[in-house]
Structure 1
């Protein structure tokens, strides 16, 4: 590998260690869009290999231990002083396995605490290679270091196989039983065969991530690149509640924000949702971390019923990409199909049910958020704009990008104003950003990744997919499927190679009558509020640690407040009222929506000069090939047909092979092969499913 002039080279494992440590530490923090994050109560212990093999050359004229000292020293200087961090080593004091204490040779050289950077630096300076590799015992002690509660992370770095009992994979399995807030991340340096399998097992059983490293990269550049990133653990917020196993005795909830936890079996959890105004529309959203490594087909059911059992709305969650991915499911009391006895619209209480389905083993003990909104009935709808049609992309002018700290879950997503932002994205990472949009507005978001060279270009290794999404305030997937002239095409996934890419996504304009649409892109854009932009990059099993630079440009098209409905008796929505954005940070240098000439810099307008007429890159079409493109067209045809014809609500148990391959609430029904990049799951589940009749005004 060629070394860039002016940079010193270090082993990839220590750059990876720096990346992992910086990432995890950022995971212990929260912050705003442009401010540095502040600590929020997590703990980390770094477990380092001090065995004799660390004396070996690192490939750049130094030993592994020398490179480790350099990398760790630089990381420590960048740690937030209030972050709780500790350092444990193993194999540091007993030379041979035949000597007493060799297989319990591990020490917490720096206890977990804050403001301990001098102690960490001093311990790093004394860090020397010496003895055996008691990984299992060291992990047991590290778990004790972290204590029994709170967000806890172990980062294990090893360049070989354990030489002592207990088996570290078995230990990791035992540690994982201490709770979902404890995980083990592992870095394996130039390991293969049984050693690699063992370390991968530790990460898998410890609910963490595993990375290989077998080459050198620019350590200093890597550290600088990732110094402000936020690779945060998925977080849940909301007032804790406990759903009941049956409708009787269920807790009564007013519209608001709550949290609960999945149980140990398939038993549903029930909640009573209290209306505060007659004839209002109730919306409920459930979100949680998608099981790591699991299918994108999640059979958890979210349902709203009347007290007498009449079904109002339901869905299976939509799964988003990323190793620490997101799943959201929604249900609403509104239906455009009038019923003879409209209990869903008039009942004082509705029943919200969350059932984990067949995935209950993976979801056992997993926390979830409940978001409940209430919108008053309107005076009339005749003067309101019709449901929004398919939008046409408006080129956005790029401004000077500002550094941004992304979130990985709803609670820590930074609020963005129109403009350009820059950050980096790692494989398997899910990033979330928040944008406020009002009546009459629609969101545009564009990702620009420049051409890459050197170690990053090599790490990409062929073709990957960058996935984008827009999510409504309640959790619906709302990207406009048939938007026109969208850079990179209107599909959510784009092919990423070392040449970089431009990928954009947009929503429909927010209008009240979108609620009568056939898909989430319609119903999800029927209220204003805080919408979310999701970005992720696919990861391969044998990935090295790397991060790609990207620019995110955000714009709002349309005039805020256009088409705002008048609610009965001047009532106000409990959530989702008019929220015309007021800038809280520096505004963009060029107004959002200004075409900005022919600029093509990062964040600027990009037209498909070498692409297809609709903006779809030629490389994407070529990558799909004839069969893939045909399948995509089949999916489009399915959406078109089902937009015109609603499906009846499915009976329980319809999710199976054979006649019902997908639950009928999905407007995009079809075979798993129709959506090869989503585990066979159609991208936008739709709620409800009532017989077609005339809609009431609500």
Structure 2
């Protein structure tokens, strides 16, 4: 047992000092943290022409884009997988933006320049509030589609539009390229009218508030599950959370500000708090909702459609985006002008209600970790872990199991060695004493056995 414990302790110590990917840095007290790009993102530079556009592969990529700039990225797509290309623009908190004037346009085109799907155009609409801006463009495979179904070269085209009165800063952008496998069987139809209610139910009222740890973006978002959570936010800051939502389930959410303390400023702030939802491919589920504020408790609410493969055929953006299971993301932003109420920031409440019973998925022809919910995902959500914390927890558990396995091998080896030592000692005694040699009794150990017992206590023989 001593050797097993020592092995576990050594391995755990090594794991503890290992720097794992995604370790979150600490911002200074007076700094509002900006969007954190994934540590493993591949740096690329989009071009103004499709001719020399950089080739993207599935995964995360980072770039930057200037006001008025258009960038091309090349991709090679097959004729089986649907492709999703999300873009998250991350202006630094406090950057000046114009509502509806500062925006991105995203589309996927074939080699002839024909657009494969409807163009995505995420824009700011928060009363001058800056926050990460995200959505996706797609190339979807389906019997209901006619264009962009062949294998071959395609292009992701990103354009940044902006007003001359907005900030001139270059925006960092993060691109995520995901592939969705084909189905094994028939494609589910669009859910019929009236199959689910649009009337939002009551939100969770559990008096016990659990501590949530929001991240700066999609990559370090803190996990949450059904229940009442509390975090802290500063004026101008955006916090991200993630929650697993399975097939057939839907989200009922609210983000709520408390009342101000006595003596603080009053008045009216039209868009004090923003709550937005994104699907597992980082596609926007609608435009987000806002809560106005007058110094009294107030909250922004979201209620989604149930997750269904057939939702992709719905014309409504809010329903269309609820097309696959997986981690959904919640984005909460506090307006910088809220500093007159909360100069040092404020705690806020996040109510999360994952409604409905999980159903079997449509049956993908290939395994997909992105568009599914696992028991490990549910466990991470209950613990409030970010993806990095969940990965670290899993790594330490693997190390622990490895340590236990090593300890078992050591014990078996020591047992076998001890047995051989006993037999060797007995044989030596018999050879020395001949036929009349006395048997070795438990309470009368021979010198050889004593040596073997001493060796067992101090460790295996050298070279074992």
Aligned to 1:253: 56
Q: Matched residues in 2 for 1:495 and 1:384: separation?
A: 39
Match status 1:506 vs 2:303: yes
SS where residue 252 of structure 1 aligns? coil
Larger radius of gyration: 2
Task: State how far apart, in whole Å, the 1-side matches of 2:57 and 2:339 are.
Answer: 47
In structure 2, the residue corresponding to 1:407 is in which secondary structure? coil
Give the drift of 1:300.
2.6
- Tell me: CA distance 1:262–1:586, structure 2 relative to 1, closer, same or farther (3 Å): closer
Partners of 1:586 and 1:357 lie apart in 2 by 41
- 1:336–1:516: 8 Å Cα contact kept in structure 2? no
Aligned residue for 1:469?
Answer: 276
| Equivalent of residue 362 in structure 2, options 538, 551, 565 | 565
Query: Paired residue for 1:529?
Result: 326
Residue deviations 1:339-377, cap 9 Å, x none? 6xx341223332101122345984653210101111122
2:265 to 455, 459, 464: 459
Matches within 5 A, 1:23-34: none
Aligned to 2:123: 318
Counterpart of 1:605?
A: none
- Maintained 8 Å contact 2:124/2:130: no
Unaligned regions of 5+ residues in structure 1, if any?
1-36, 45-74, 76-154, 156-184, 186-230, 482-490, 589-698
Matches within 5 A, 1:421-570: 421-455=229-263, 458-464=264-270, 465-479=272-286, 492-540=289-337, 543=340, 545-560=343-358, 562=359, 564-567=361-364, 570=365
Task: Provide closer, same or farther for how the CA distance between residues 368 and 459 of structure 1 changes in structure 2, counting only shifts above 3 A.
Answer: same
Give the structure 2 partner of residue 233 of structure 1.
34
Residue 174 of structure 2: aligned partner: 369
CA separation of 1:522/1:566 partners in 2, compared to 1, >3 Å: closer, same or farther? Answer: same
CA contact (8 A) 2:212 2:224 kept: no
For residues 331 and 547 of structure 1, the distance between their equivalents in structure 2, rounded to whole angstroms, comes to 35
Q: Give the alignment partner of residue 271 of structure 1, picking from 73, 78, 85.
A: 73
With 464-473 and 380-389 compared, the bigger mean Cα shift is at: 380-389
Match of 1:386 among 166, 191, 216: 191
Provide structure 2 residue ranges, at least 5 long, that are not aligned to the other structure.
Answer: 1-21, 385-464
| Aligned residue number for residue 82 of structure 2 | 281
Q: Is the 8 A contact 1:460 1:498 kept in 2?
A: yes
1:241 is displaced (CA, Å) by 1.5
TM-score, structure 2 length as denominator?
0.66
**Greater RCO, 1 or 2 (C-alpha within 8 Å, sep 6+):** 2
Report the Cα distance in structure 2 between the residues aligned to 1:542 and 1:493, rounded to whole angstroms.
Answer: 17
C-alpha offsets along residues 72-128 of structure 1, whole Å, 9 cap, x if unaligned?
xxx8xxxxxxxxxxxxxxxxxxxxxxxxxxxxxxxxxxxxxxxxxxxxxxxxxxxxx
- Cα offset, 1:523, TM superposition: 1.9
Change (3 A) 1:280 1:250: same
1:584 matched residue in structure 2: 380
Counterpart secondary structure, 2:149: helix
| Match status 1:40 vs 2:25 | yes
RMSD, aligned α-carbons: 3.3
> Counterparts of 1:343-362 in structure 2 under 5 Å?
343-358=147-162, 362=167
CA distance in 2, matches of 1:280, 1:379: 12
2:196 is aligned with 1:398 = no
Q: 1:537 to 1:364 in 2, by over 3 A?
A: closer
Contact map agreement 2:122 2:133 (CA 8 A) in 1: yes
Describe the shift of the 1:551–1:542 C-alpha distance in structure 2 as closer, same or farther (beyond 3 A). closer
1:262 aligned partner: 65
